[in-house]
Copies of this chain bind each other. A is one copy, B any other.
């Protein structure tokens, strides 16, 4: 299980969210409160949108709390849309390639959760990728693979549908090998314009997800746990939800894996 925070709004210094708040993401890397494991020391990453369509990416394997580069970058870089993540590995080595966010073209993705029984279905899922998506596989995590499944499922044109169908493929793959599906998916993604998030788990125990205002309403956050409980107006997102946040609005709709479609496709 991991911790993450995403922001959309007026450009702010990354440190305003990542390092400065009393319960900032960096603080959560040491002492998360709502996570199964309080320590998220298996690497970290940032994806931020600036002057180019595709995001910048900075990932490293140190614990976030001890990386001076991270501190300086967050102090220097301003962005109106970014994703930040601290990792607690559920499998997969501690390497940069296994750190979130993952990036492809304009899209970025980060994940708290896991694909249960991944070792039993990893190969089938990788084989189901298109050559284009397979060619982007750099690491060994379930999270990166989920991102590639989403890309194959038409992420650019239909984010909600792509996440749903990717979840359906994971569930279907589990069923085919006789394993009870066990997907936990509290994730954020962006194309540089809007910010999307999903909270879902096959067993109903989805990791927490919150939205909240920031910086005098000039921007909004989506986070795995609030970084500033006292001053924020945090709203808990219910399980089985999909959040679409633009600069003007935040909408929440129901989320379910696209199992029906996949069952037909088989």
Contact surface of A with B, Cβ cutoff 8 Å: 13, 30, 38-39, 41-42, 48, 50-52, 55-63, 66-69, 72-73, 75-78, 89, 93-97, 119, 123, 127, 131, 134-135, 137-138, 140
**Contacts A39-B39, A50-B76 hold; do A94 and B62 have CB atoms under 8 A apart?**
yes
In the bound complex, how far is the Cα of B66 from the Cα of A94, in angstroms?
A: 6
Q: How far is the CB of A190 from chain B (nearest CB, A)?
A: 15
Contacts of A67 in B (CB 8 A): 94
In the bound complex, how far is the Cα of B78 from the Cα of A78, in angstroms?
A: 11
Q: How many copies does the complex hold?
A: 4
In the bound complex, how far is the Cα of B37 from the Cα of A38, in angstroms?
A: 12
Residue from B30, B58, B93, B96 within 8 A of A39 (CB atoms): B30
Q: How far is the CB of A210 from chain B (nearest CB, A)?
A: 24
Contact B76 A52 (CB under 8 A): yes
4 new A-B pairs (CB below 8 Å) besides A52-B75, A138-B140?
A: A39-B39, A42-B63, A56-B73, A93-B97
Contact A131 B123 (CB under 8 A): yes
**Contacts A41-B39, A93-B97, A138-B140 hold; do A51 and B78 have CB atoms under 8 A apart?**
yes
